[in-house]
Structure 1
Amino acid sequence: MTDPLQTGKTQWVHYQLAYHFVWIPKYRRRILFGEMEAACKALLAECCRQHGFRLPVLRTDIDQGHCFVSAPPR
């Protein structure tokens, strides 16, 4: 099994920095499935790509979402 939190490096540092985000729709509405799930995942992946972040883990349940984002320390 590979480690999703791989060590990154810049010119000056080596780092292993990750953020765990959990989001829950208002009143825990069960909306994260089908097209809504695909759209959320695509938007998060695009945002990470634009800013140069890695998105090693992205999971959604019917009423919540979890993602780990690895970003350089800037």
Structure 2
Amino acid sequence: MTVTRKVRRYSGGVYDLGLHVVWCPKYRRRVLGGRVAVRLRELIEQKAAEKGWEVVALEVMPDHVHLFVKHGPKASASYVANQFKGFTSRVLREEFPHLKSRMPTLWSASFFVASVGAVSADTVEKYINTQGERPWTKEHKEQADRAPGV
């Protein structure tokens, strides 16, 4: 899947931030099927809309959730993950009593999160490492070399 770069603006700058978030039910129990899975998808979309985030991809498996979400610059990775986990746990346990009786909490305390971007880490590294080779940078460097010492 190709994700088109859609930068967003706010008073402090321009951003394009995405996260791949994965989390599991407690004890990796296979409880995310049927009506629970349908409702979980709805709740994730609802929370994203409430926060102004964009769900790019979402897959609910019986024993874990994969989410690719674009978020704002003020939200940390752990904040994003915990917003989804906390909200969905509370609502799903209210609506599906069997989730309360089978497990002390719906979600495991841990999660996986990785930043996702339209540009790879290798591309960024190469871009940074070749800054001195740019024509306009060479000109400035030559001018600085000719200037009297400071």
Question: In structure 1, how many angstroms separate the alpha carbons of the residues matched to 2:7 and 2:31?
Answer: 35
Greater helix share, structure number: 2
Aligned residue pair count = 73
1:7 matched to 2:6: yes
Q: Which residue of 2 aligns with 1:42?
A: 42
Contact 1:7 1:14 in 2 (8 A): no
Unpaired runs of 5+ residues, structure 2, are 75-150
Q: Deviations over 1:36-70 (max 9, x none)?
A: 10111111100000111000010011111010110
- SS at structure 2 position matched to 1:30: coil
Q: TM-score, normalised by structure 2?
A: 0.44
Q: Which has the larger radius of gyration?
A: 2
**C-alpha root-mean-square deviation of aligned residues, in Å?**
1.7
Question: In structure 2, how many angstroms separate the alpha carbons of the residues matched to 1:18 and 1:2?
Answer: 13
- SS at structure 1 position matched to 2:48: helix
Unpaired runs of 5+ residues, structure 1, are none
Percent sequence identity over aligned pairs: 32
Greater strand share, structure number: 1
Q: TM-score, normalised by structure 1?
A: 0.84
Comparing both chains, which one has the higher relative contact order based on Cα–Cα distances under 8 Å and sequence gaps of 6 or more?
Answer: 1
